[in-house]
Amino acid sequence: MATYTKTKLSASTDGRGILVATTGEPGTTIHTGSSVATTIDEVWLYAVNKSSATDYKLTVQWGVTGDANDWIEQTVTAETGLVLITPGLILQGNASAALVVRAFAENAANVILHGYVNQITV
């Protein structure tokens, strides 16, 4: 029988937002998936742009760095909060190397990611 657990992003402190602190790759680590093949992480990410005047492009590196085919890009407009970035996309456990979600933004001082993980063990 599968188990289902809602948890914080692995790089979050106490469930708080994570400042996207880099402007290029490799991005800031947001979440590290499991290294167990029977574990699936369903990742929900929301972005906040705290700038009062400028829109910033956010790039989420999904599972790997260096491969633009696994990047999710979205412009987050000024002073918007909780813009959905990843609607429950999944990462499956990988015994050779855990998959990592990273992010970078045009201005590393203004974009913050919030979210959670639904961890499913089958």
Mean of the per-residue pLDDT values for the chain?
94
Query: What are the structure tokens assigned to 3, written together?
Result: 């188990």
Enter the pTM of the model: 0.93
**Cβ contact 8:118 at 8 Å:** no
Cis peptide before 26 (omega within 30 of 0): yes
Distance CA 103, CA 55 (A): 16
CATH number at 31 reads 2.60.120
39-62 pLDDT, tens digit each: 999 999 999 999 999 999 999 999
Domain that holds residue 26: 3-121
Residue 65 has pLDDT above 80, yes or no: no
pLDDT at 67: 84
How many domains does the structure of the chain reveal? 1
